[in-house]
């Protein structure tokens, strides 16, 4: 008999999905930090997910979702990103607060409330950080963007996603005006992963290489 898919299983699958966007496998220690659970609890849940066919485990490398695992992750990702929109655009929280508050807030959200949140926020297609929101039937929109550090000097780009959850970094980027939709020109890279210089409006900005790598952009202005 197939095990019933629980909210906890969807939550773990969603977190693995987010983490494996940047790497082929997700380590158990890293996953434990992101879901705030012990390694013992992580191992138990991963055992359930593996037995149900939702994850594959590669010794010394970590885990990754199967196609079925990605499917069960979509509802949790959709709910999380819709709630982030509600917190920021309706309740007035800062985008730097949204991720952590959502982890607590969404525990009380059911399908009925999720649908009302979707309606109240205007059926958004992206969260406040620019990440795509899966459709109700579980399809993840395909984005045509790349990390800023993969672009050529002199290129004009539009900020698509900000792939960082650290509140201080988000607050800093927000103060600079670097939110999804912002257009700027890449001026230069310093050698050896040094600072990255941008022209944004009439000002020039300097970002660390690490922070620039977390900015995903679409080439050309809108």
With 0-12 / 13-18 / 19 or more C-beta atoms within 10 angstroms meaning exposed / middle / buried, residue 30 is middle
The list of the chain residues with pLDDT below 50 reads 1
pLDDT at 3: 67
List of domains in the chain: 7-65 (1.10.10.10), 146-219 (2.30.30.90)
pLDDT at 196: 97
pLDDT at 35: 86
Could you give the C-alpha distances from 180 to 23, 93, 190, 195, in angstroms and in order?
23, 17, 24, 21
- For the chain, the average pLDDT equals 93
Q: What is the pLDDT of residues 47-66, one digit of tens each?
A: 999 999 999 999 889 999 99
pTM as predicted = 0.91
pLDDT at 23: 87
Contact present, 35 and 99 (Cβ < 8 Å): no
CA distance linking residue 51 with residue 82, whole number of Å? 30
Task: Write out the E strands in the chain.
Answer: 55-58, 62-65, 146-147, 156-162, 183-189, 196-200, 203-207, 215-219
Q: What is the pLDDT of residues 79-90, one digit of tens each?
A: 999 999 999 999
């Amino acid at each position: 008999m197939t095990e019933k898919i629980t909210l906890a299983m969807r939550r773990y699958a969603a977190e693995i999905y987010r983490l494996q966007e940047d790497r082929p496998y997700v380590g158990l220690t890293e996953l434990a930090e992101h879901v705030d659970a012990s390694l013992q609890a992580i191992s138990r849940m991963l055992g359930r997910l593996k037995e149900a066919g939702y994850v594959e485990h590669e010794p010394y490398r970590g885990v990754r979702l199967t196609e079925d695992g990605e499917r069960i992750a979509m509802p949790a990702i959709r709910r999380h990103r819709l709630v982030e929109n509600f917190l920021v655009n309706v309740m007035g929280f800062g985008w730097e607060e949204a991720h952590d508050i959502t982890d607590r807030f969404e525990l009380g959200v059911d399908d009925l409330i999720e649908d009302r949140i979707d309606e109240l926020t205007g059926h958004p297609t992206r969260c406040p950080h620019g990440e795509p929101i899966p459709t109700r039937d579980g399809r993840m929109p395909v984005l045509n963007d790349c990390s800023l550090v993969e672009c050529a000097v002199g290129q004009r780009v539009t900020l698509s996603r900000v792939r960082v959850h650290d509140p201080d970094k988000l607050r800093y980027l927000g103060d600079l005006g670097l939110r999804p939709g912002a257009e700027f020109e890449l001026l230069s890279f310093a050698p050896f992963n040094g600072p990255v210089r941008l022209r944004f409006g009439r000002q020039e900005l300097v970002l660390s290489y690490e922070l620039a790598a977390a900015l995903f952009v679409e080439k050309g202005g809108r």
